[in-house]
Structures are given as structure tokens and as C-alpha cells.
Amino acid sequence: MSERKRVEAMAWVCPVPLRQYDRVLLGHGGGGKLSAELVEHLFVPAFGSAPEHGLHDSAVLEPGEGRLAFSTDSYVVRPLFFAGGSIGEIAVNGTVNDIAMSGGQPIALSCGFIIEEGLAMDTLGRVVELMAGAARTAGVSIATGDTKVVNRGAADQLFINTAGVGRIPDGVDIRPDRASPGDVVIVSGEIGVHGVAVMSEREGIEFGTRVRSDSAALNGLVGAMLDAYLDIHVLRDPTRGGVAASLCEIAAAAGVGIKFEESLLPVPAEVAAACSFLGLDPMNIANEGKLIAIVPPEGVDDVLNAMLSHEHGAGAMVIGTVNDEHPGVVTAVTRLGATRVVDLPLGEVLPRIC
């Protein structure tokens, strides 16, 4: 979503019928009049999803024939708004991206809010506007939803769950265990940006230039890549656990080795600075608008060119290859020419970044 639109959404004005409640009450989740007002005056205008035949317990989709991707994620990021994004935007983009990582184009999202009693109505309104904008940008409808309000202290402001359904084009077969020896590993751009942006906002630390989250919907990029070359083997968006966790999971699922050059990893200077300051590895930091593609050698040129021509793949780089030497093991060639094993991190290097 453009910066101008984000700023407009941040200046959200509470619609009149809700204005008498400047904070969310328990009753706004109770299934009565207050709930109905929230749906009528906030969700329906923003999401534009009032179906022709009135609101119902479920949305009716007509996806046509073929395979569907189905995915869910909950979003608990703190703070709710940060440089380059918000919980609302990553709640849309994250689930759109999970679907895109199967090669799917999203059809519809569901949206479940868990709200702490007392949340400012303005805060909820801004989050909803930013979600709606992100959904428009990704070309997906928010088709069904639910709101629960819990007592003050029983949640931290606002959690959002989204689930999504997407259509997988015929002939597409993208899954982690298709990584094969000889395949080439591509990343779509600079890594570690989202995690560092959230952390610097949260902790009030700035590392040189301000880092902005890369949160973006990648279904357009994936569509362009598949148009260029249909037989992409694996796609993965390296969110929690970062690039390291994604590569380790792929290596384990396919029973192959993955080897890459550390010097080829696109790590921006501010991310490198923040990570060295905090003793973190940029490979473990979450991204929200990047993907890893594993492609057979004959498709690399087509896929890479398609990526470089797309706004979300303009920084794409080949970083390594798949091998059969060390099944299940990811190795990095360091800047000094040594080889090290890259392992799955144990737990959370930065909690609550998505």
C-alpha cells in the first residue's frame, strides 16, 4: 500500500454511531446490538464485504474447479504500528503469502479479532483500514470474520487471526520436498528488515538510517514467476526463524543438502549493524515481504528475470544450490572461504515480531 494511503488510514475518523464508545467494551464482542454496530459501521464499510444476501455465519465462495490452498496465521506483533507496516497489514500479507508459497492466488480471507476490553476504538479503526487497504492491494476479499472481546488484562490490546483460501493454477506443484540436487536457490531481496524494524520501534533503538518493514503481499510476484516458468520446485517466505529456518526445513523435508555463499546474502548495512550490536544472525531474523525460490537450473534465467522486473523481486539474488552431499544439512560458505553448518535456531530470537 502506498505511503499516502497508509497516512490516510492512520487518520481514521470514528463513524458517528460508534463515536459514543471511544473504547471497545466487552459487549462489542457479545453478539448483541453493540456487536452488530461494530460490524455495520466498521467492518462492512472497510472490508466492503456485505454480501448481496445479508451477513451470514459463513461466506459462500464459488472458486470453480481445481485445487485450493488453505492456510492460517495468528498475528501478535507488538507494537501494533511500526515503520513500514502494522499488525493489520501483516495479518493480510502474511496469510496471502502462505497461500502464494503453494503457488496459489488468494480468493478470500477470514479475519478473527481478539480484542482487550478498553482498546481505543480509533486504534481498532486504523488497524481495520490498514487491513482493508492491504487486502485491496493484494486483490483479495475479506469475506468472513469474528470478533471476541476479553476482559482487561486477559489479552494485550489486539490479536488477529486470518485464514485464507486460494486457487492453485493447474500444472503448479510447489512443495518443500521437491528441492532436488542441482536446483538453484534464489532470495527475492534484502533480508532481516522486518524483524529489525519492529525491534527498533519496540525498543526505541535506531541503527543508523531508520529501517522500515518490508511487509508486502507476494502473490503478484509469484504469479509473474510462474508465468515465466511453471515448474518452480519450492517457494518459502522466511518469516519466523528467518532464512536459516526456511532453508533447514526445506533440506529436511526433501532430504537434500543446501549450500550457499554468505557473501551473496543481501543484508542491508542497518540490519547488519543491528544484528552485530545484538549478537544476532541476520539469517535468523524474520522477513514479511521476501521469498526463497528453489528452481531447476533450466528455469533460473526465466524466474530471475521475472523477479527482477517486479517491484517485490527487484533485489533478487542467486545465493546457492541444492546438493546430495549432506542430506538434511544446510551449509554456508563464509566470507573467509570456510564452510559452516547452519542450524535451526532453538526458539525465538525476537519474540512477537509477527
Min CB(51)–its own copies separation in Å:
9
Residue 203 Cβ, how far from its own copies at the closest point, in Å? Answer: 15
DSSP 162: E
Residue closer to its own copies (CB basis): 102 or 331: 102
Of 276, 178, 311, nearest in space to 236 by CA: 178
CA pair distance 341, 235, nearest whole angstrom: 22
Judged by CB, which is closer to its own copies: 6, or 96?
A: 96
Joined grid coordinates for residue 67: 485445487
Grid coordinates belonging to 286: 524474520
Minimum Å distance from CB 345 to its own copies? Answer: 4
CA–CA dist 121, 15 (Å, integer): 10
Nearer Cβ to its own copies (6/244): 244
Q: Which is nearer to its own copies, 32 or 208 (CB)?
A: 32
Residue 85's DSSP bridge partners are 82
| CB nearer its own copies, residue 113 or residue 207 | 113
Sequence-distant (≥ 6) Cβ neighbours of residue 200 within 8 angstroms: 83, 206, 207, 210, 211, 274
**Minimum Å distance from CB 56 to its own copies?**
6
The CA distance from 235 to 176, in Å, is: 7
Give least dist CB 11 to its own copies, A.
28
- CA 122, CA 160: separation in Å to the nearest integer? 16
Instruction: Considering the complex, state which of residue 151 and residue 309 has its C-beta at the smaller distance from its own copies.
Output: 151
Let me know how long the chain is: 354
**Least CB distance from residue 18 to its own copies, whole Å?**
14
